[in-house]
A and B are shown apart, each in its own frame.
Chain A
Amino acid sequence: MEREIGKPDLEFDARGMKCPMPVIKARKYLDQLKTGQILLILADDPGAKKDFPAFCSQTGHELIASQEENGVFKFYIRKR
């Protein structure tokens, strides 16, 4: 996955956090990045699956890729 989209500039491990904390904290992580940089988010809250696509469509950041592995969701988000 990382070979195609490049190494993320920042990683946010939201595993163990419950809704809405992953989304709220993700915003703070994105605030630290510059336009075009990539944030990788790891989350295991079941709501995260749809929450991050919704977060991206609402805020305009680009969801480049997402995958699920053993109940852990990975989201690659490019800051706009």
Chain B
Amino acid sequence: MSQERERALQIEGADPHNKLRIICFSGDMDKAFAVLTLASTAASLGMDVAIFFTFWGLSLIKKKRKFKGKNFIQKMMEMMMPKGLNSLGLSKMNMAGIAPAMMKILMKKTGSPTLDDLFQAAKESGVKFYACSTSCSILGVDKDQLIDEVQEIVGAATFISEAKGGICLFI
């Protein structure tokens, strides 16, 4: 737990409403920016933050491509999906991967944080990462394929009961 979070708990007397829960459904670069910006900022403001990665959102927390132990269709899906946080496409005007590269150049030029910067900030400020169990089993993704920051593979009921009373976003 971050120092800021501990202090916020003291100030607000462990306010259960002071929390943000994000369902990261999309696997697009632009939407990943929204997810990681909001998560890292809220955590820096002392909120308790968790992101629940589901479906295409799993691409954000993949360590590498993995084919072992997957059936034929899952292998095909694996081939077609991004291999990780740094190979996401844009939700619009992707132009076969040219636009994300241009976007990265623009971000460097304007001094904007990259997805890696934001992910690092989120991690350091105590954001929790969860993966959806059903999405994982449909796509044949296991914990080994996910980055180490993912604490657990959880179900919908866990998310709902955890999210109660907090701000909830579906991105």
Which size class do A's interface residues fall under?
10 to 19
Indicate if the CB atoms of A31 and B3 lie closer than 8 Å: yes
How many B residues have CB within 8 A of the partner chain?
A: 21
Interface residue? A27 (CB, 8 A): yes
Set B37, B44, B111, B113: member contacting A27, Cβ < 8 A: B44
Alpha-carbon gap, A74 to B41, bound state (A): 20
Alpha-carbon gap, A21 to B122, bound state (A): 11
Alpha-carbon gap, A60 to B2, bound state (A): 15
Our count of residue pairs bridging A and B at CB distance below 8 angstroms stands at 52
Q: Given the interface contacts A27-B125, A31-B4, A59-B7, does A20 sit within 8 Å of B41 by beta carbon?
A: yes
Chain A residues with CB under 8 Å of B4's CB are 27, 30-31, 59
Chain B residues with CB under 8 Å of A23's CB are 41, 44-45
Alpha-carbon gap, A69 to B37, bound state (A): 27
Interface residue? B46 (CB, 8 A): yes
Set B8, B37, B112, B113: member contacting A59, Cβ < 8 A: B8
Residue-wise, chain A 21-65 has the 8 Å CB interface mask toward B (1 for contact) of 101101100110000000000000000000000110011100000
Indicate if the CB atoms of A18 and B113 lie closer than 8 Å: yes
Indicate if the CB atoms of A18 and B40 lie closer than 8 Å: no
Interface residue? A7 (CB, 8 A): no
Looking at the assembled complex, report how far the CB atom of A8 sits from the nearest CB atom of chain B, in whole angstroms: 19
Indicate if the CB atoms of B37 and A20 lie closer than 8 Å: yes
Interface residue? B110 (CB, 8 A): yes
Looking at the assembled complex, report how far the CB atom of A68 sits from the nearest CB atom of chain B, in whole angstroms: 20
Indicate if the CB atoms of A58 and B7 lie closer than 8 Å: no
Alpha-carbon gap, A44 to B116, bound state (A): 23
Most central of A16, A27, A30, A59 by chain B CB within 10 Å = A27
Chain B residues with CB under 8 Å of A31's CB are 3-4
Interface residue? A17 (CB, 8 A): yes
Chain B residues with CB under 8 Å of A16's CB are 111
Indicate if the CB atoms of B112 and A20 lie closer than 8 Å: no
B residues at A contact (CB < 8 Å): 2-4, 7-8, 11, 37, 40-41, 44-47, 110-113, 117-118, 121, 125
Extra contacts, 5 of them, besides A55-B45, A58-B47 (Cβ < 8 A), are A21-B117, A24-B40, A30-B4, A58-B8, A60-B8
Q: List 9 A-B contacts (CB under 8 A).
A: A18-B112, A18-B113, A21-B117, A23-B41, A24-B44, A30-B4, A31-B3, A58-B8, A59-B7
